[in-house]
Structure 1
Amino acid sequence: MSDIKLLPINQRDHSEDALDLAQRAADYVILEVGHAPNAAFIDDFFEAVPPDLNKSDLMNFGVMQQTAMTGIVCIAKGYELPTDWWIGLLLLDPAYRGSGIGHNVVQLIKTRARKAGMTMLKLAVLESNPRALHFWAREGFVPHRYAPATPDSDGHNRWVLKHQI
């Protein structure tokens, strides 16, 4: 799996490939949003910005194995603190899960974050996704806080995890 690369992707040129990937990984998308992936899900992947940030603070990557897109990643720079990177989504093709690809992607993210001077990686995991909680714990992420669903949210309880770089 050492041939895995994170290549920057953009909405104009890569929406179709990202949607194809999301459709292959529909199990997670349905868990999160309650329906199969569609163009609106991909638009959100490229455009949803955390509070107090701008679209320029988002980094979108395709997880590439040779020429195949095997995953997508979105990272917000400077959320919640200036030296934090927030992993908003790491979505992998189920055909590659369990092969070490997730670990390799996390290592690539950590390397990029260190080079950028970041000190912390953070993310939120759906409480209803125990496989993801186990994966992130195995990668060295620890609980930061519990984020229960609110009347204004999407109805999911989440664990916010962190990893000191």
Structure 2
Amino acid sequence: MQTCYNRCSDYFLLQDGAAPTLDDARELFSDVPPEKSAHNQAVLGWKGPGGLYAIAAILRDYPRDGTWYLGFMIVDAAQRGRGVGRSIYSTVESWAAARGATEIRLAVLEANEAAERFWRSLGFIEYRRVGPDTFKMRSHRRIELSRRLSGPVGPKLRFWPC
């Protein structure tokens, strides 16, 4: 997992102003709101011949029943721009819908314009802006986006629980 984080260091440099650490990777498994437990979150990984190339973490029934919060999704920089992120999201959405999700929410950093364009291209709409919040050495406002589930958005990729 740390190797994938290192290959996605551009994201961590943007968000935190620092390269990812092993503690960042470990924290993914326990970083949930106080009213939820780590058991309410699924951390999913996608791997190929070169190892793990994408990770997603989704929190079930947050902030309310039926709404699932995609708190984290990264894709190896070498895989970007080829439809991999779209396929991964489609898999996550279908997986969540099969378990009762009717809406997916997420937040994107205002500074991450490429990510905002990506999520909006998948039909996510803005419902509010929050922050600024501090991430290690940087502070960001976040754009919270939402998408009502209506079915698959593309081809599926197999994943492995991390």
Instruction: Output the TM-score relative to the length of structure 2.
Output: 0.85
Q: In structure 2, what is the equivalent of residue 157 of structure 1?
A: 141
CA distance in 2, matches of 1:142, 1:122: 9
CA distance in 2, matches of 1:147, 1:51: 18
CA distance in 2, matches of 1:44, 1:34: 17
Task: Return the match for 1:54 from 37, 41, 47.
Answer: 37
SS of match in other structure, 2:77: coil
The structure richer in helix per residue is 1
Q: Is the 8 A contact 1:25 1:91 kept in 2?
A: yes
SS of match in other structure, 1:35: coil
How far apart are 1:31 and its partner, in Å?
A: 1.1
SS of match in other structure, 1:46: coil
Deviations 1:86-142 (A, max 9, x none): 111101000000010000011101111211111110000000000000000001111
Q: In structure 1, what is the equivalent of residue 160 of structure 2?
A: none
Over aligned residue pairs, what C-alpha RMSD do you find?
Answer: 1.3
- State the one-letter code of the partner of 1:70: Y
Deviations 1:41-92 (A, max 9, x none): 1111111012310010110011223673111111111111111111111010
CA distance in 2, matches of 1:119, 1:76: 13
Q: In structure 2, what is the equivalent of residue 101 of structure 1?
A: 84
SS of match in other structure, 1:113: helix
Task: Return the match for 2:117 from 134, 141, 145.
Answer: 134
Q: Is the 8 A contact 1:50 1:76 kept in 2?
A: no
Uncovered stretches (5+) of structure 1, i.e. residues with no partner: 1-17
Q: Is the 8 A contact 1:25 1:94 kept in 2?
A: yes
Uncovered stretches (5+) of structure 2, i.e. residues with no partner: 150-162
Q: Provide the identity percentage.
A: 28
- State the one-letter code of the partner of 1:157: R
Which structure has more relative contact order (CA 8 Å, sep 6+)? It is: 2
Worse-matched range after superposition: 140-149 or 65-74: 65-74
SS of match in other structure, 2:79: coil
- State the one-letter code of the partner of 1:57: N
Q: How does 1:8-157 map to 2 (within 5 A)?
A: 18-65=1-48, 68-149=51-132, 153-154=134-135, 155-157=139-141
In structure 2, the CA distance between the partners of 1:68 and 1:39, relative to structure 1 (3 Å rule), is closer
